[in-house]
């Protein structure tokens, strides 16, 4: 029986036309990251299971990891995210590194999820992390980068917004304002995280069920529902308004506004799934009502490096996945027209294929990307092949061409042929590339 030609469920084969889109995404990721002085790092896709047990989402660790024992009986996981890995790497060289440390990576990460639109089992993720800055400058920088990334992909400010919240504020709400214990807080946090995916009545009922009768009598559940309607920090009740975290949020919104970022808003319902966040968190949302979903996000996670036995390091970062991003680009018609990197499809027409090979080598040395047609095939067939591959030019090298060093260049779009020197051919093709 023949073997299946399908890729593993929920993961993608990238044929060259698919890979072009991914290369485009990666090039923008790298470009923006390096503009801000971030340096690329990487790490093995396998990590010990332990590093996810402490602070990642329990849902991910227990239900979604690709965990197994290796041939040496070690419990390993194909990484579901990069933050524990980068924290491990910083911890390993805590004393030697020069802070602030700006690092980025573009790893593939794996989660065993039910594949659906915008969610696959394997995706690639830009990871941006800034270590060693305790002040809001760090949040300001990474949110600016998130914004610049969207701009670099061609997004207009009305296509997305940046929602910001504070874990410190959420803690104050849960403990001080609502008087909830730790178990209630954790349950409520997960409930709010799913709030926009459920009927409002169901949500209200689940909120009610979560409070004790005396808490309900004291109006705590109503306080929560009122709080969730607030659209700006100015709307917060007096008791919360003076909290340190609100001052920080206010300062952050001011500085983002000063830097020309007008689509950042306060969202007290923003929870984010990971347990390691400690302060400001943010998420970028698609504003399209048909696709009003989180695109990517991040925040401050100051305690994670410490878990690896090193001194605490201030840490702020975010991750941007390629699947969700590609969905956004497609739905907003932002995918550019991406073409093959190959410039010329060269056909040797005469007997002297070795001399033709040398001409082709020269073109390559002069910087062109040249694929060659197999010798002895029909010309019409080769023109069809070049068109199918989307290569812009063909070059015919026959005996006449070799004799007077003028080669026939066919512009496949214009269906036009002209004879030129190699120099001229290189300049024509390089001009075309720049268009």
Residues 59-88 that bind a copy of itself (CB under 8 A): 63, 66, 68-72, 74, 76, 78, 88
Query: β-strand 294-300 against 315-321: which pairing, if any?
Result: antiparallel
Burial class (CB in 10 A: 0-12, 13-18, 19+), 290: exposed
Separation of alpha carbons 28 and 13, rounded Å: 21
Q: Compute the distance between CA of residue 392 and CA of residue 369 in angstroms, rounded to an integer.
A: 11
Our CB check for a copy of itself shows the closer of 16 and 235 to be 16
Q: Which two tokens stand for residue 97?
A: 């590194």
Task: Find the binder of a copy of itself among 285, 345, 396, 407 (CB under 8 A).
Answer: 345
Q: How many residues bind a copy of itself (CB under 8 A)?
A: 94
| Closer CB to a copy of itself, 116 or 333, in the complex | 116
Nearest to 274, CA basis, from 292, 298, 302, 245: 298
Query: 141 vs 279, which CB is nearer to a copy of itself?
Result: 141
Q: Is position 9 an interface residue for a copy of itself (rule: CB under 8 A)?
A: yes
121 CB-side CA count, 13 A: 16
* Residue 250 lies near a copy of itself (rule: CB under 8 A): no
Asked whether the beta carbons of 100 and 295 are under 8 A apart, the reply is: no
* Residue from 2, 183, 201, 238 binding a copy of itself (CB under 8 A): 2
Question: By C-beta, is 237 or 367 nearer to a copy of itself?
Answer: 367
Binders of a copy of itself among residues 17 to 36 (CB under 8 A) are: 19, 22-23, 34-36
Stretch that binds a copy of itself, among 187-195, 265-273, 367-375, 398-406 (CB under 8 A): 367-375
Query: Minimum CB separation from a copy of itself for residue 235, in Å?
Result: 26
294 near a copy of itself, rule: CB under 8 A: no
The smaller minimum CB distance to a copy of itself, of residues 30 and 424, is found at: 30
Q: Site for a copy of itself (CB under 8 A): which residue of 28, 112, 225, 338? A: 112
Nearest-approach distance from CB 228 to a copy of itself, in angstroms = 33
Applying the rule CB under 8 A, the residues between 128 and 187 that interact with a copy of itself are 132-133, 135, 137, 141
Respond yes or no on whether the N-terminal peptide bond of residue 165 is cis (omega within 30° of 0).
Answer: no
Q: What is the rounded distance in angstroms from the CA atom of residue 304 to the CA atom of residue 83? A: 9
Beta-bridge mates of residue 300: 316
Closest to 126 measured CA to CA, from 86, 166, 165: 86
In the bound state with a copy of itself, the residue whose beta carbon lies nearer, of 42 and 176, is 42
Provide the 8-state DSSP code for 159.
G
């Amino acid at each position: 029986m023949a073997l299946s030609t399908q890729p593993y469920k929920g993961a993608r084969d990238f044929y060259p036309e698919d890979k072009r889109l991914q290369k485009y995404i990666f090039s923008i990721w790298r470009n923006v990251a390096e503009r801000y002085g971030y340096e690329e790092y990487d790490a093995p896709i396998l990590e010990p299971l332990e590093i996810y047990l402490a602070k990642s989402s329990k849902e991910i660790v227990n239900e979604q990891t690709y965990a197994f024992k290796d041939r040496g009986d070690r419990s390993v996981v194909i990484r579901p995210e990069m933050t524990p890995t980068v924290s491990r790497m910083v911890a390993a060289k805590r004393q030697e590194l020069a802070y602030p440390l700006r690092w980025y990576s573009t790893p593939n990460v794996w989660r065993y999820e039910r594949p659906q639109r915008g969610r696959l089992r394997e995706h690639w993720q830009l990871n941006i992390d800034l270590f060693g800055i305790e002040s809001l400058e760090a949040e300001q920088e990474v949110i600016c980068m998130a914004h610049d990334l969207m701009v670099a992909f061609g997004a207009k400010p009305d296509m997305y917004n940046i929602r910001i919240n504070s874990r410190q504020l959420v803690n104050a709400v849960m403990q001080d304002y609502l008087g909830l214990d730790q178990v209630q807080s954790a349950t409520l946090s997960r409930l709010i995280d799913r709030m926009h995916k459920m009927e409002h009545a169901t949500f209200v009922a689940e909120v009610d069920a979560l409070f004790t009768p005396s808490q309900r009598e004291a109006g705590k559940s109503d306080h929560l529902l009122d709080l969730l309607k607030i659209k700006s920090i100015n709307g917060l009740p007096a008791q919360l308004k003076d909290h340190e975290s609100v001052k920080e949020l206010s300062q952050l919104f001011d500085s983002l506004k000063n830097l020309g970022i007008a689509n950042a808003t306060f969202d007290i319902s923003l929870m984010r799934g990971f347990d390691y966040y400690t302060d400001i968190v943010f998420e970028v949302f698609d504003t399209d009502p048909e696709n009003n979903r989180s695109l990517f996000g991040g925040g401050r996670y100051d305690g994670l490096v410490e878990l690896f036995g090193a001194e605490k390091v201030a840490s702020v970062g975010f991750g941007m996945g390629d699947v969700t991003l590609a969905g956004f680009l497609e739905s907003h018609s932002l995918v550019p027209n991406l073409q093959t990197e190959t410039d010329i499809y060269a056909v040797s027409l005469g007997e002297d294929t070795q001399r033709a090979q040398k001409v082709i080598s020269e073109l390559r040395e002069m910087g062109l990307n040249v694929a060659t047609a197999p010798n002895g095939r029909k010309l019409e067939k080769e023109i069809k092949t070049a068109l199918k591959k989307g290569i812009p030019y063909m070059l015919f090298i026959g005996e006449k061409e070799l004799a007077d060093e003028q080669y026939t260049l066919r512009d496949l779009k214009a269906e036009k042929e002209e004879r030129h020197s190699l120099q001229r051919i290189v300049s024509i093709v390089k001009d075309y590339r720049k268009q």
